Every structure is written in C-alpha cells, then in structure tokens.
Structure 1
C-alpha cells in the first residue's frame, strides 16, 4: 500500500463527527475490516474504533503499523497470527476482563473468514465477552457485486464460499470433484503461485462461466468473465496476469434445457469434461453414457460444444 497524501487529523475528525456518538463498550473485542488494497476503503467507524481502543491485535505488526500511521494513528500492537492464536487469545481475554477495548485486524479485508481471527473470537465468546464486528472491505463481496449472478431463491443458495482449495493430493482432488458437482455459484480465493494450477483444474468444467478478480481495488485491478475452458489461456496471454491476489466466482451451472446438453446434470457434464481430456469426442460420449447413464446423443452434442470452446 502507498501512503496517501492526506491530512490525517481531518480524517480522524470526520470519523469522530460521524461515529463518535456511538457507544463502544469496554471489555469487548472489535473485529475490524481493513482495506484489501486501496487505503480509501477504510470506514469512518473503523477509524474511530482504532483511535480509541487500548491495543490493536493484528496478524502482522510489520503490516499494521504503517497502515495505522497512514491514518495518523499510533496504538500498541499485539501479534496474533495462525501460529500463536490460541495462546494470544488467552492474553486478550485476560485484558478484556480488565475492561480494555481491543481491536483485531488481519493483514487485509475482513478477519476470521480466510484470515486468522476465528479462534480468537471463539475464545472471547466462550469467556462470556463481546465480539463486535465492524464490516468493510472484502474481496468476496467486491467480486460478487460485479459478477452478475442472478440466481432465484427457489434454486437454492445464490453462492457458497469455498475459499482456498487444499494445495495438492487427494484432498485437493476431492475438493475439485465437490466443486464440479455444485450447481450453484462458488467463491474461491487463490494465491499467485497457485493460480495457474487452479486455472488448469477449472478448465475441465468447460463452458461453465467463471469471473476472476485480480488485485481488486488496486491500481492494476483486472476483472474478467469467461468460460472455465479459456481461463488458462487468459492467464498466459499477459505476463503480469499471474501476479497479485485472486478471487474467483464460479457461476451456477446453466440449466441443461437451455443448451445442447439435452437435460444433462452437472455430474454428467463434469465426467464428460474429464473424459475429453484423454479421448476423442465419440469415445468420450460413449464412455460417459456408460458411466453416468445419461443419453449418448446429448453427451455427444455437449462434447462438441466443449471441444469447440
């Protein structure tokens, strides 16, 4: 993040004017969302809370200290990350019982989702103390807001948050199989060193649509919506596209009645896509029919569509 050219006292005065009248009870943990890239995405209420707490617990003090300074804040920092969260939680509970206000922030976005914070909140709740959320920036909701999902409530959940898949082995393969079987939208997160591998895995889903967000809210943000089959080529088309942090929305399966698939379900299409990686269209359709029991003609038509993609 780049330190903005702004007058910090004015920002904090605005935070006080807008959010200062709210009651902020003592002995509570404040779970504060911070920007995912653009410093302008901090909320005024977050600034107000960060200015009045007794200490800020954070995933990485080296990251949080300059973040606070960018807004003209200087608070004591407590290191709470995935490797010490259980031990650090006990100390925070002790401080809360003494009447302190403690804020918790992760390196970026909303804590406790894919970042540390969940075990800390659980420990605080089990101690009978309050956890108060301060919503804000999130790559998940940011990408969903522009992905164009329009799933009717009667068709099941609009989306499922999947997050990071297991990096390798049987657990990853099981997660990919489950992902392919979900008819509704799924939200994924991925790191730059694994995005190519994820793109290759998702390519097996053929014409199923995916929206990818790279470096969301930052200067070189990119958002693209395309078939899963095209994702590896899109990433490889420009060298910089494998850099940065990624969020992906795997769109719902298109109802089979509106396509050439002739009533095929998601599992039949998934099996067909996998067979097409090794077999010609005719052989994949024949074997797919034997495995799934789906109509051979419908599988053949769908295989032609996948090959064309």
Structure 2
C-alpha cells in the first residue's frame, strides 16, 4: 500500500492520543524553559542600540571586537556577521560620542562602509512588547468569535486550542534554543495563526458537511465521521503546508539576516500548524462532541 493510501486510512482519532501526549510534554518543557530562561529579546523589546553595517570589503568579527573594546562598549554586545554585512546589538543605548567613535573606526577599516544605528529607549521597548501581546490576544479573540458564529462553540474551542498550541510551540523552540525574538517574530506568529486557522477551518467545514448525512447513534459513528472528514482533506492540508513550507525554507536559506528569525519562525510554525490541524483540532472537537452525546437526557 502506498504512503498516500496508508495516510488516507489512518485512524486519526486514535493516533491523536499520542499526539496529545507529545504536545503536553513539549508544552511543559516550554513552560519550564520560559520560567527559567525566558525569551532572548532583541533590541525591539528592550532598551539598547542595534547597529547595521554594510561593508565594501571583507571585515571579520575579530577586527570589530578590539574597536568595541577600545570605545568601552564590547561588554553587553553581540556581533552577528553576514555576507558584506554585520549587525551589532548593544544592551545599552549608545550615546552620541560612542556613535561618532564607532562610525570613525568603521570607516578606517572600510572607507566605503555605511552604518545605520537604531535605538530603542526603555519606554518604547515596553510599549512595543505590550502592543505585540495585545495583537496576538485580540487576533485570537477575533478568531474565536468568527469560528463560534460560523460553526459552533465546540469548533471554536478546538480551533483556538490548536491555534494557541502552534504559537506556543514556536515560542518554546525559540526559548529552548535562545533564538532572538524581534518584531518580525511577532509578524511570523500572527501569520502562523492565520495559516493555522485557515487549515483547521477547511477540515471543520468538511466535518460539518458530513454531519448532515451521517448517522450518529454511537461513539464509533462519530469516530468514523471525524476520520472520514480528515482523510478527505488531509492531502490538501499537506500540499498547502508543503508549498508554503518550501517558500519559507528558501526564504530562510537565501534571505538576509534581517528576516532570518521571521523565516525560521514561519518554518517551525508551518510544521506545527499542519500537525495540529490534523491531529489536535479535529480529534479535540470529537472529544467535546462525544461528551455531549454521553450526557443523560433530561427528564421532561
């Protein structure tokens, strides 16, 4: 039997039990990692300066470090080299004199170099962080309302759990591996939320269509309905995920340093988005629906 045929005949509801275990374990690891290490915030979310330098010749980190040490700004700095480019992040806001000295020393190394300095003060950093959190929360709330109106509350709960699962998995990976979180990361999370809910709604729509004509006398009838609905849409979900994944992967491999974290978050989020739509959202709806069917009828 081919891989496609095996996939179409999977018992998705049964497999979901293992998927729940995997996701719960990863969630616990993520909570511990966030509690102990937190996130590696970029200058976008904490006070500091970020210097982007474009060179016309090859300049290495080893040549830059003595310059920073002489100016007195090496401590608390992070150098990220690239092709003809270099990014230097400082935990402290550089003053005007330090900016001037750094620019002068860079021009001594490469007279054709250009330098751009972005500074975020503490108040602006707090405002950006708060706005990012509100953006994620409000978008999630809007999706709950939309799915609740279009379908029913069980679909809405299953969708939001899958959606938050995908976003948190990305946050977990970034926390564990100490990857930098900047504004592009927030954009990626919001994009992942949109992708995840779109993929989930396609499966939910098929479940709703099949509900119109399916018998629902037993728990097994409901299991068969969910498995049938997922199998009818699983290839579409995988093809869509693969298409977007390839684009995001090449963006990660060939894109510049400025969008690297965005691309990486997209790659991770797309994988978890496809996984949760198939193995988390629909089986969770089944759990909620089966509990309703198991409730005893009220006496009239």
TM-score by length of 2: 0.23
Q: Highest Rg: 1 or 2?
A: 2
- Relative to its length, the structure with more helix (as a share) is 2
Task: With a CA cutoff of 8 Å and minimum separation of 6, indicate the structure with the bigger relative contact order.
Answer: 2
